[in-house]
């Protein structure tokens, strides 16, 4: 109902052609979308539109403009645009001082926001000054620490100490803030922020199991809120990932980091806060030897580097991105997986041709029947020995001794070597797999040697920082068409052409062979299509795709990633049917208008009480008035000129019209 209320209010302001009121409603709508839905990009869009309207006319420096500047500043800061946020917050503070504010909620929120974003930029002295001043004034205004806002303030003091590296003091303030929030029935979002901070401190202190217990509790409560607070869900997922990462459970960590990145949704491309989650995800992917995916992820993240540095010059995430990229690209062993005929060997040969300062040693493992035979080409080229001279010695001792001598020779060599193992699947799929693993691990320790290998079957290697695995997939439909055109320009792009492309299933070698047959002229195009469709090798079958890459599980995973359809529950006021004369109808309209005006005043009084020590009383009263509150929101659809201003004023309140348990938007932060 909340979103419908704001949209209807916005329509009413446009109908009344009152741009000033439109600005107020857009500002309120931006606050709900920013603080409740957690969509910072859409929230910024509404704030900017509201500001554009204000700047287009005669600018009145009033509370409404100060609230707009403050809200936009908070939104930008939440996106990681801390420098830009401070500009708008300082504009808000200037107006608030001009209006003589001191202990009002508006100026206190501005001071707290300035503290948070100066600390985020490592302006420690300025941030601490604002932080302590905001805390002093807030305590004076409320008169007690037992209030959700004070819980948020203490949480933010904890973040300040965390930035300074005072971990024990930070944990103390985080826990005290969480305790106050819990005892005063603060909003779930506010409680969750404190739980995330406590969990992060526990993880940093080497207590990930305790952190997971805190996060499990938070996630269970999150189930009560659907399609809102996506920003907080992202933080919880990231915190889960950190805890599992500390436990070296990289697979579980990757799952949570993926959720954290995905929950940034469409705002990801401009939300610089996602860089941290992307870096953590990439580090875990490297731990799982998924170097190729890590490189793609970091390259994507680095597209934001200029804007990220502009908004936060002190950010270390960009340097972190380059470090991760370097680690992912500096592997000593590179294994290329893929279906037969996908082009693995072709890529390896191209790499070998381009390398100038490496001496290439090529080892074809096809049809190798003994473990010792894996080393035969290397023994011949590096040791200049023949295996036939080894006699009838113990094969295992011979193998181990041979490996050590090859390693010593390569280690002491002045020449850099590139060793290529082709058709490794013939060894991996047999009992010789353990010999292959031994060779790979041994060679991975050399600094002047690089290894390239191709295989259709995964080698079950344990995690190793110097081993990079990549998988070649089939060509896309367009790339297949382009390749066939290039290989066989004489073939017309008709129905037969597209049939051939379809039957080749994106395999470059099959496309090359088909084009060669067409150019040779020994077979007609029709005969080639028949052979491709009826006599294809087994390698072209979908059965050769790994089970995780087949259509059904891929499509199922896609469905699981989809969000649930947004469902809005509309409260409907039903009136007793009957006949009314004109006088009775007018009396009903008067009663409706009187109800709207009186109840809006009640809401304003409750809001004012919510920032005092009477918070608990105000919360109880609002819960009691929830039915009337829903009726008031629904009555916007029956608005008259008499009640128009009432609804506009409600829309510009700092109320969350979707939940009575959150009465205000208080700056509450997560220790980054």
Top-ranked range on mean pLDDT: pick from 162-171, 316-325, 563-572: 162-171
Identify the residue with better confidence: 601 or 186: 186
669 within 8 A of 156, measured Cβ to Cβ: yes
Tens-digit pLDDT profile for residues 310-350: 555 545 555 556 555 555 555 578 888 887 767 788 778 87
Distance in angstroms (rounded) separating the CA atoms of residues 671 and 657: 28
- The predicted pLDDT at position 368 comes to 83
Is 50 exceeded by the pLDDT of residue 105?
yes
Both tokens assigned to 470:
């990549």
DSSP conformational letter for 476: P
Identify the residue with better confidence: 414 or 570: 414
How much of the chain exceeds pLDDT 70, in percent?
71
- The predicted pLDDT at position 234 comes to 83
Average confidence (pLDDT) over 389-401? 70
Q: What is the CATH number of domain 228-331?
A: 1.25.40.10
- Residue 380, number of CB atoms within 10 A of its CB: 13
The b/e string for 626-649 (b: 16+ C-beta within 10 A; e otherwise) is eeebbbbbbbbeebeeebbbbbbb
- The predicted pLDDT at position 671 comes to 46
CB-based contacts of 288, cutoff 8 Å, min separation 6: 250, 251, 254, 463
Is 90 exceeded by the pLDDT of residue 97?
yes
3-state secondary structure of 60: coil
Tens-digit pLDDT profile for residues 181-209: 889 888 888 888 899 999 999 998 899 99
Distance in angstroms (rounded) separating the CA atoms of residues 663 and 671: 24
- Residue 73, number of CB atoms within 10 A of its CB: 28
273 within 8 A of 80, measured Cβ to Cβ: yes
- The predicted pLDDT at position 578 comes to 36
Average confidence (pLDDT) over 490-504? 86
Identify the residue with better confidence: 196 or 391: 196
Q: Are strands 467-472 and 333-338 parallel, antiparallel or unpaired?
A: parallel
Top-ranked range on mean pLDDT: pick from 29-43, 378-392, 557-571, 631-645: 29-43
Give how far the C-alpha of residue 205 lies from the chain's centroid of Cα atoms, to the nearest Å.
Answer: 25
Distance in angstroms (rounded) separating the CA atoms of residues 467 and 8: 59
For domain 333-465, give the CATH superfamily.
P-loop containing nucleotide triphosphate hydrolases (3.40.50.300)
Is 70 exceeded by the pLDDT of residue 539?
no
3-state secondary structure of 446: coil
Tens-digit pLDDT profile for residues 507-538: 777 888 888 888 888 788 888 888 887 655 43
68 within 8 A of 57, measured Cβ to Cβ: no
Is 60 exceeded by the pLDDT of residue 125?
yes
Is 70 exceeded by the pLDDT of residue 425?
yes
CB-based contacts of 172, cutoff 8 Å, min separation 6: 158
Is 80 exceeded by the pLDDT of residue 661?
no
- The predicted pLDDT at position 48 comes to 92
234 within 8 A of 264, measured Cβ to Cβ: yes
Average confidence (pLDDT) over 67-84? 88
Residue 175 pLDDT level (bands cut at 50, 70, 90): very high
- The predicted pLDDT at position 388 comes to 61
Average confidence (pLDDT) over 7-12? 82
- Residue 333, number of CB atoms within 10 A of its CB: 23
Residue 287 pLDDT level (bands cut at 50, 70, 90): confident
- The predicted pLDDT at position 299 comes to 76
Both tokens assigned to 74:
């908070």
Q: How many residues does the chain have?
A: 672
Average confidence (pLDDT) over 162-174? 88
- The predicted pLDDT at position 325 comes to 56
Average confidence (pLDDT) over 640-652? 71
Q: Is the pTM of this model over 0.75?
A: no
Residue 338's nearest CA partner among 326, 347, 329 is 347
Average confidence (pLDDT) over 61-75? 90
Residue-averaged pLDDT of the chain: 75
Q: What burial class does residue 99 get, using C-beta atoms within 10 Å of its C-beta: 0-12 exposed, 13-18 middle, 19+ buried?
A: middle
Both tokens assigned to 218:
């938070």
Distance in angstroms (rounded) separating the CA atoms of residues 203 and 240: 10
- The predicted pLDDT at position 577 comes to 32
Tens-digit pLDDT profile for residues 222-280: 776 666 677 778 888 889 999 998 998 989 999 998 888 887 654 433 455 677 788 88
Tens-digit pLDDT profile for residues 452-471: 888 887 777 655 666 777 77
Distance in angstroms (rounded) separating the CA atoms of residues 542 and 216: 40
Look at 81-90, 580-589, 629-638 and tell me which has the smallest mean pLDDT.
580-589
Average confidence (pLDDT) over 101-114? 90
């Amino acid at each position: 109902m909340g979103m419908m209320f704001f949209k209807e209010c916005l329509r009413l302001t446009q109908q009344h052609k009152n741009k000033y009121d439109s600005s107020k409603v857009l500002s309120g709508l931006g606050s709900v979308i920013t603080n409740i839905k957690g969509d910072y990009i859409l929230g910024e869009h509404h704030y900017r539109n509201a500001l554009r309207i204000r700047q287009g006319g005669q600018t009145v420096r009033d509370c409404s403009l100060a609230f707009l500047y403050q809200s936009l500043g908070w939104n930008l800061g939440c996106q990681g645009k801390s420098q830009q946020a401070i500009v708008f917050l300082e504009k808000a503070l200037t107006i608030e001082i001009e209006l003589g504010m001191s202990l009002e909620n508006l100026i206190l929120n501005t001071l707290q926001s300035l503290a948070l974003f100066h600390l985020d930029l490592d302006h420690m002295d300025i941030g601490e000054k604002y932080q302590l001043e905001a805390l002093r004034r807030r305590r004076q205004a409320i008169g007690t620490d037992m209030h959700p806002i004070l819980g948020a303030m203490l949480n933010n003091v904890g973040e300040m100490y965390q930035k300074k590296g005072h971990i024990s003091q930070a944990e103390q303030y985080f826990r005290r803030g969480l305790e106050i929030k819990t005892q005063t029935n603060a909003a779930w979002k506010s409680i969750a922020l404190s739980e995330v901070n406590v969990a992060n401190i526990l993880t940093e202190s080497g207590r990930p199991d305790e952190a997971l217990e805190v996060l499990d509790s938070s996630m269970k409560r999150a189930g009560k809120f659907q399609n809102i607070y996506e920003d907080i869900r992202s933080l919880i997922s990231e915190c889960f990932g950190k805890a599992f990462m500390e436990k070296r459970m990289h697979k579980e960590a990757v799952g949570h980091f993926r959720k954290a990145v995905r929950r940034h949704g469409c705002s990801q491309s401009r939300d610089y806060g996602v860089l941290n989650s992307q870096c953590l995800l990439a580090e875990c992917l490297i731990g799982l030897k998924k170097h190729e995916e890590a490189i793609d992820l970091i390259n994507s993240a680095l597209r934001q580097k200029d804007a990220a540095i502009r908004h936060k010059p002190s950010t270390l995430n960009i340097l972190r991105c380059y470090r991760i990229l370097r680690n992912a690209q500096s592997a000593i062993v590179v294994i290329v997986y893929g279906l037969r005929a996908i082009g693995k060997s072709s890529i390896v040969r191209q790499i070998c041709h381009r390398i100038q300062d490496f001496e290439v040693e090529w080892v074809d493992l096809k049809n190798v029947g003994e473990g010792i035979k894996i080393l035969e080409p290397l023994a011949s080229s590096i040791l200049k020995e023949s295996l036939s001279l080894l006699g009838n010695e113990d094969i295992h001792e011979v193998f181990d001794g041979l490996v050590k001598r090859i390693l010593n020779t390569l280690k002491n060599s002045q020449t850099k070597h590139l060793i290529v193992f082709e058709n490794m699947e013939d060894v991996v799929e047999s009992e010789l797999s353990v010999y292959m693993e031994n060779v790979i691990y041994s060679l991975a320790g050399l600094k002047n040697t690089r290894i390239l290998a191709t295989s259709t079957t995964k080698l079950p290697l344990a995690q190793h920082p110097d081993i990079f695995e990549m998988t070649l997939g089939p060509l896309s439909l367009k790339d297949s068409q382009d390749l066939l055109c290039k290989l066989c320009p004489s073939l017309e792009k008709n129905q037969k052409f597209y049939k051939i492309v379809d039957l080749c299933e994106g395999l470059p070698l099959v496309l090359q062979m088909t084009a060669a047959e067409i150019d040779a002229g020994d077979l007609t195009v029709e005969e080639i299509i028949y052979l491709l469709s009826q006599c294809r090798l087994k390698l072209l079958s979908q059965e050769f795709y790994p089970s995780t890459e087949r259509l059904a599980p891929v499509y199922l995973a896609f469905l699981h990633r989809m969000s649930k359809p947004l469902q809005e529950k509309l409260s409907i006021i039903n009136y007793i049917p009957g006949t009314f004369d004109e006088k009775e109808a007018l009396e009903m309209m008067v009663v409706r208008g009187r109800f709207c005006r009186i109840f809006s005043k009640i809401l304003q009084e409750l809001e004012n009480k919510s920032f005092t020590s009477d918070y608990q009383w105000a919360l109880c009263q609002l819960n009691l008035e929830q039915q009337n509150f829903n009726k008031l929101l629904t009555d916007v659809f029956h608005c008259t000129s008499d009640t128009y201003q009432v609804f506009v004023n409600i829309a510009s309140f700092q109320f969350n019209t979707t939940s009575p348990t959150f009465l205000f938007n208080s700056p509450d932060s997560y220790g980054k």
